[in-house]
Structure 1
Amino acid sequence: MDIQLAQNKLFGAWDSGKNGQNPMQSYRIVNERKWQETIDPLKLFLGVVIGRGSFGVVHKGTYQGQPVAVKVLDFGDTKITEASMAFVKEDFVKEVNVWQTLDHPNVSKMIGATMSMTKNCRQKTKKKNTESNFCIVCEYVRGGSLRSYLSKNRHKKLPFRTAIRFALDIASGLSYLHSKKVIHRDVKPENMLIDKQHMTIKLTDFGESIFEPSELLYTTGERGTRGFMAPEVVARKPYGRKCDVYSFGICLWEIYNCDMAYTFNIDNLTPDIYREMRPLISVNCPKSLAHLMERCWDTDPKKRPEMKDVVVLLEEIEKYESFQTVPEDLHGGCFTFFRF
């Protein structure tokens, strides 16, 4: 089925709920109609665990003899009811439907997905009973997550040109997503992989991603990760793709500083306090980069730039700063203080 047609039917189904039809039932029907197995589980080999997320375990594996990463849904110790499983299946299908449409150098490539992994897949290690039959197979990116890379280089920091290159890769990937009407909704270093061979960044994990509707969304709960989550999302107000721009601004700070923006628990902060909190930018940070950070994490989504414009601005910063001297002792980054 054509993706745009399916997308229109999906949001049409939600609207029809106002006329008496159950919107979740319509959503399920559309997803069921779109779903089909896109890999052969018999050709999938599941290896060691290389990463964990909120609802998924990532294994290194092989598919048709080629190295791959396999994201398997994992419910932990939670006992899943039949009703809950229906919603889990919907979310899984939604992620697959978003991810399989994407093709960009700065987005990890999805190879396929299956809902019948356990009974057919060969496994090097015994899979826990809490893991489901649902898995997504994507390209294996050698180099690990950006979070791991930043942690390893925390004390020596990244060369300025490397930091800008990484930021450009992320901005290019997000600009592509937005051009395809996709909102990532969980932009953070943990969801970015480093291609060690080419030293490029690839966005991954589209479990929170959605196709952007014509009108702003309204969420009844937080989506994403505190610290990178835009204030309007925390406050449960209408939001759109500019929530990704806010997240990018925090990521830009972390890449430049090679550190975490928040080292204390912010999960219980009220929306009013969270709204005013930002990492402090030191005087050592080039003004052009500092200004871009501030624009991206502006409280007002309308004042944040589009990601395609961020790409242009970063390219200009890269060209300008390449003619400037940025001493390594001055690129010690911003200190971990915060403004309220």
Structure 2
Amino acid sequence: MMSFREGKLGGEEKECEESVLGSTESKSVRENGSLAATQFTIDENLLVDPKLLFIGSKIGEGAHGKVYEGRYGDQIVAIKVLHRGSTSEERVSLENRFAREVNMMSRVHHDNLVKFIGACKDPLMVIVTELLPGMSLRKYLISIRPKLLDLHLAINFALDIARALDWLHANGIIHRDLKPDNLLLTADQKSVKLADFGLAREETVTEMMTAETGTYRWMAPELYSTVTLRQGEKKHYNNKVDVYSFGVVLWELLTNRMPFEGMSNLQAAYAAAFKIAAREAEHTR
């Protein structure tokens, strides 16, 4: 296991003692002669000392970063290292997303949400959470195939997920990336916790939100254009998009199959958007 300060993950050694963005204006953007959109900051009480972080083996990887098993002081933890971006504009966007994720995770505490421990900006953008010794729900379902999940366990998992979503929604947060890969089993494999707030955002009543996120197979149709299926468009939607994703996950819990099996994620999105489900329904009878 390597110290966070040593060369395994690169970057110069700095103290994590200031807010993530420091001021309302990003230096990299100022140098390009323009200001970024709304900037986010992080309470310094949420920041951890990088000298106490030790990085172990990689346990996961996604579009926005990598997750390692590690240690913070005397705690065994999960350390999520986020990508920095290669341009000034991309860097500012990712810093904002990082700060938003930290702020949301730090203010919601629930038995079915992965516990937030702390964050650090330098030398890397890092989020530290509890480490669950179980596997993801996706891996667990695959491991028991072709068997079905015990019905009582499936119901318990579904209730865990519903409680997590209910708590998030009560706190004005939409997860937007609910899927089995982001649901982690506890050590006894009798409960699940919702993880990865990288694409979550606070719900607003009047603001149009960007449909920038998620995996098509689990995304509600209102998150993408049914004509072009292009992400990144501004749309009105609410926390019901999580309810749609919950329905897809519930189907998987009960059938131990992936919806629209044999289709790519993009094909599955078309099938959902245009209600091409007759063949799938025949399969489950």
TM-score of the superposed pair, with normalisation by structure 1: 0.66
* Cα distance between partner residues in 1 of 2:82 and 2:187: 26
Partner residue in 1 for 2:223? 233
Give the 3 Å change call, closer, same or farther, for CA 56–161 of structure 1 in structure 2: same
Alpha-carbon distance in structure 2 between the residues aligned to 1:189 and 1:66: 26
Contact persistence 2:83–2:94 (CA under 8 A) = no
Superposition deviation, residue 26 in structure 1:
4.9
Are residues 97 and 153 of structure 1, via their aligned partners in 2, closer, same or farther at CA, if it must alter by over 3 Å?
Answer: same
Question: Are the aligned partners of 1:234 and 1:271 in contact in 2 as well (CA < 8 Å)?
Answer: no
Quote how far apart the aligned CAs of 1:270 are: 7.3
| Matched position secondary structure for 2:161 | helix
Question: CA 1:272–1:259 in structure 2 vs 1: closer, same or farther (change >3 Å)?
Answer: closer
Q: Which has the higher helix share?
A: 1
Structure 1 residue aligned with 2:58? 49
Q: Find the counterpart in structure 2 of residue 255 from structure 1.
A: 253
Residues in 2 aligned to 1:51 and 1:142: alpha-carbon distance in whole angstroms: 13
Q: Which amino acid aligns with 1:149?
A: Y
| Partner Cα separation in structure 2 for residue 63 and residue 40 of structure 1 | 9
Amino acid aligned to 1:64: G
Question: What is the aligned counterpart of 1:182 among 151, 173, 190?
Answer: 173
Task: Give the CA deviation at 1:50.
Answer: 0.6
Give the corresponding residue for 1:265: 264
Residues 39, 232 of structure 1: CA spacing in aligned structure 2 closer, same or farther, 3 A cutoff?
A: same
**8 Å Cα contact 2:36/2:92 also seen in 1:** no
**Secondary structure of 1:206 counterpart:** coil
Structure 1's 216 and 57: CA in aligned 2 closer, same or farther, altered over 3 A?
Answer: same
Letter in 1 for 2:121: M
Q: Deviations over 1:92-134 (max 9, x none)?
A: 11111111111000000110000114xxxxxxxxxxxxxxx11
Amino acid in structure 2 at the alignment position of 1:25 = A
Question: The residue matched to 2:127 in structure 1 has which SS?
Answer: strand
Once the two structures are TM-superposed, the CA of residue 217 in structure 1 deviates from its matched residue by: 3.4
Structure 1 moving runs of 4+ over 6 Å = none
Aligned residue pairs, count: 242
Q: 1:25 aligns with which of 23, 30, 36?
A: 36
Read off the aligned partner of 1:239 and give its amino acid letter. Y
**TM-score w.r.t. structure 2 length?**
0.78
- After superposition, what is the alpha-carbon deviation per residue over 1:128-166, rounded to whole angstroms, capped at 9, x for unaligned? xxxxx1110000011111000011012111111111111
Q: What percent of counterpart residues are identical?
A: 36
CA offset digits 1:33-89 (Å, max 9, x no partner)? x453611111111100011111111100111111100111136xxx70122111111
Aligned equivalents of 2:43, 2:95: Cα separation in 1: 10
Change in 2 beyond 3 A, CA 1:162/1:42? same
Residue 61 of structure 1, aligned match among 70, 76, 81: 70
In the alignment, structure 2 segments of 5+ residues that lack a partner are 1-23, 25-33, 226-232
Unpaired runs of at least 5, structure 1 = 1-9, 11-21, 118-132, 284-333, 336-340
Is residue 174 of structure 2 the alignment partner of residue 166 of structure 1? Answer: no
* 2:203 maps to which of 192, 202, 212: 212
CA RMSD, aligned part only?
Answer: 2.5
CA distance in 1, matches of 2:163, 2:272: 31
Aligned-residue offset at 1:277: 3.9
Correspondence 1:154 to 2:145: yes
C-alpha distance in structure 2 between counterparts of 1:80 and 1:166, whole Å? 39
